[in-house]
Structure 1
């Protein structure tokens, strides 16, 4: 993908952040503390870990703890082209979960040029001076995301797309915000990720990243994702987590 074919805000960002290192990273592991909110439920505080082969596989794991006790665990996996989500003992699979998990994968991977070759047909299209369309030819069908860029820093600020709200749910506006960009091992990383459904009044997932591992091994996390996928047979539940 030649630079002169890219929208202006994408070119500015690549020149500012990725000159000479667009083939990195291949993997990324993010750990931190998150707050998760669902309607009619108290806010939960989570330990969260996201392990990704950027543009290909992603496993997100969380644990809800109270002191030394673990109250609930969850795992959301997109590995080898398949997706599933588990919260406690409840597992969700199906086309809506596939679409949602793939959009989560690409919501994170889209800000890393090294991920783009792993989705043939991905393309950026012009919108205006501070936004661009991102066309994503996923196995579940082409999706169109809006990526907006911070007018002060030029870095990506927001990823917006319509996503199925759980297994059997409707397509609903969904967004993720990239905040607090810092450079780790020569790679720009957003240290806060805030996710919100468009029909809800507040973000449902707010992650503050405290641990970043660039080009780190992710095989163990992918193995846990494959184990979950190997045990899934029927759809059900509320859909993917993040």
Structure 2
């Protein structure tokens, strides 16, 4: 059922994008992607995937490499002034030579070019469409599941869980809890047993289903045993039945494509 919901949402997002794209068939919106972490394989792989999908929907991705704080600030300012650029993405995680706090970096992007809605002014926005891209996809899927479920957020990252948790907690449709690396092991185990749905932090897509639980994890790692989720070990060992790679990526990419075309249409 979960995979079917994801594919349905992907279809809805792309249909909206196609409708706008056909309306402006002679135009090619430009999306600037800033990579501060050139040697990080997952970041590079994720950017390549974004570029591939954006190009298929007549969006021109342009990747900019920067290597220090000064270059990063100057590049964002330059792209803010460039009228050809519809959207700006600063790829997370940042490189080791970037010392500016993440939120300060995201706040440098102009409000009308912040496709991922990571600026501070979106933090308490009530519109779910102004959640970060991955959070928005997860929000739509979770809200199509049975209400009154207990949702546990593993991790408090700015690009995914933190904003999604605040939104869902505020709405009160689900009983929500959030934990981070400082949460005691005993509490983590207790909360995992308590939960019906677990949302693990962000990264490359993966979905896992547990017996009696659903785990949404956009993050994977490779081990000697193959590909598995980069989840808390306690969670990973909870009676896993099967896993499917590539689910949440469909939500993220399709939401990105939809947002870029909407930004172009309504700019």
Q: Provide TM-score, normalisation by structure 1.
A: 0.25
User: Which structure has the larger Rg over C-alpha atoms?
Assistant: 2
Structure number having the greater strand percentage: 1
- TM-score when scaled to structure 2? 0.24
* Greater RCO, 1 or 2 (C-alpha within 8 Å, sep 6+): 1
